[in-house]
Amino acid sequence: MRQARPNTEQDSESKAPLYPDLLFPEDLHPPENFALVSPFIYRSGMPKKRNFSFLAKKLKLRSILTLILEEYPVQNQKFLAENNIHLFQFGVAGNKEPFADIPEDVMTEALVVLLDRRNHPILVHCNKGKHRTGCLIGCLRKLMEWSNTSIFDEYRRYSAPKSRSMDQQFIELFDVGPVIERVDPRFLPRWPTINSLAASGPS
């Protein structure tokens, strides 16, 4: 299920906190493996019912991007509908060598959604917020011109204790060119590296 982005060009960033307070009230529980990726982009494992208030009240999410293959849980779908949160689903199998490879075209599509600030604030997740999420965020970091060392350090931090060499190889070899060709420069996040890449085009 890959849904189109909302039919609005309103910039939603002003409605959400730039860096949500890390000291959460007792009734607000972040999902497993939750972290801030960049302003208005977050990552985690699969949100559970106890996390819903945090997502709606603290993060004020506009979108969720999930990488799970399975149908999205019914209670989660209900929560999204009640809070006008848009769902983007890009089903990806875990990169458990040697049985499955991550499809590069699916990651490209997911990154185009992630780089459109009309979809922000946005949460990226898979089941545990480790491997598939780590691959997508690693590819995003390439677009942000991070070094491989920094990208892999971040990947291992969230995938511990079972980091996958195939995931890191995928990130290293991922071609950002098709992403740059497809993004709309008008709605890119306000990150200097992203905007300079889009202006210069793929190398």
Q: Which amino acid is at 135?
A: C
Fold of 13-183: Protein-Tyrosine Phosphatase; Chain A (3.90.190)
Residue type, 21: D
Number of Cβ atoms within 10 Å of the Cβ of 6: 15
One-letter amino acid identity for 145?
E
CA distance 151 to 52: 29
* Whether residue 202 has a cis bond before it, omega within 30° of 0: no
Q: Looking at 122, 126, 135, 198, which residue is catalytic?
A: 126
Question: What angle, rounded to 10 degrees, do the helices at 104-114 and 131-143 form?
Answer: 70
Cβ neighbour number for residue 96 with a 10 Å cutoff: 12
Count of residues making up the chain = 203
Q: State the Cα–Cα distance between residues 23 and 101, nearest whole angstrom.
A: 38
One pLDDT digit (tens) per residue for the chain, 203 residues:
444 444 444 455 545 555 455 555 557 899 999 999 999 999 999 999 999 999 999 999 999 999 999 999 999 999 999 999 999 999 987 655 543 578 899 999 999 999 999 999 999 999 999 999 999 999 999 999 999 999 999 999 998 877 788 899 999 999 999 999 999 999 999 877 776 666 665 54
Burial of residue 174 (number of CB atoms within 10 Å: 0-12, 13-18, 19+)? buried
8 A C-beta contact, residue 43 and residue 37 = yes
What's at 171, amino acid-wise?
A: I
Spell out the domain ranges in the chain: 13-183
Has 135 been annotated as catalytic? no
* This model's pTM is above 0.75: yes
pLDDT of residue 193: 73
CA distance 141 to 144: 5
Gap between the Cα atoms of 117 and 2, Å rounded = 18
